[in-house]
Amino acid sequence: MSRTGLFISFEGIDGAGKSSHIKALADAFSAQGREVVLTREPGGTPLAEKLRALLLGDAMDPLTEALLAFAGRRDHLVQVIEPALARGDVVLCDRFTDATFAYQGAGRGFDRAPLAQLERLVQTGVAPDPAQLREPDLTVWFDLPAEVAAERLSHARLPDRFEAQPLEFFRRVAQGYADRAGAAPQRFARIDANHARALVWQQLEAVFAQRGWLPAAAGQDPQ
């Protein structure tokens, strides 16, 4: 019996802790017999990874950042995401378009209207229905106060040029995510990331169990 593909994105400011849970969710889906594609943005294809290196390392204005992000996203959709969904796979993507609205839109202060135009241009014409705007079926938003994220990042590796931004930048990014979630509440699931890892994992289990995608306690708490 063929299965319908699932496209799930994970969002949050740097330091929110989302990445540590994605692999555990992949393992939980695999345990249910699903094929899982783990991917990320910026990146996900050889071309998009080259653009990621430019985005994270080279100084540029917000429009250039947005154009590079959407260029990589188009290649990612065409080469990885859409074929996986057509096969019936589960696609777990560390960040997607909401990050561009949060970082370049809210964080950098770039006009959201051109971002919405780019979103429409890049994310249509890839699904079986050419008029469909390809969006995640679910976006898991790891909501964390900017001050807590900054404290976590202070103990991390050498930061890239986004992680090295001042606290006020991350406050704007966090608000950008809140605005996106408020505009699409049916797509977003908010996770309170200001807790110990085990409690964050319990919230994730509840989100996926509620949708019938995984049984309760399907995965292991990532240590």
Residue list, annotated binding site: 12-19
Tokens, residue 194: 């200001």
Nearest Cα neighbor of 158 from 72, 65, 69, 56 is: 56
Indicate the angle between helix axes 62-76 and 46-57, nearest 10 degrees.
160
Residues 90, 37 contacting (CB under 8 angstroms): yes
Which residues participate in the annotated binding site for ATP?
12-19
Query: What DSSP line would sit under 28-82, residue for residue?
Result: HHHHTT--EEEEESS-SSHHHHHHHHHHHHS---HHHHHHHHHHHHHHHIIIIIH
Report the amino acid identity of residue 1. Answer: M
Nearest Cα neighbor of 28 from 6, 4, 13 is: 6
- CB-based burial of residue 202 (10 Å sphere; 0-12 exposed, 13-18 middle, 19+ buried)? middle
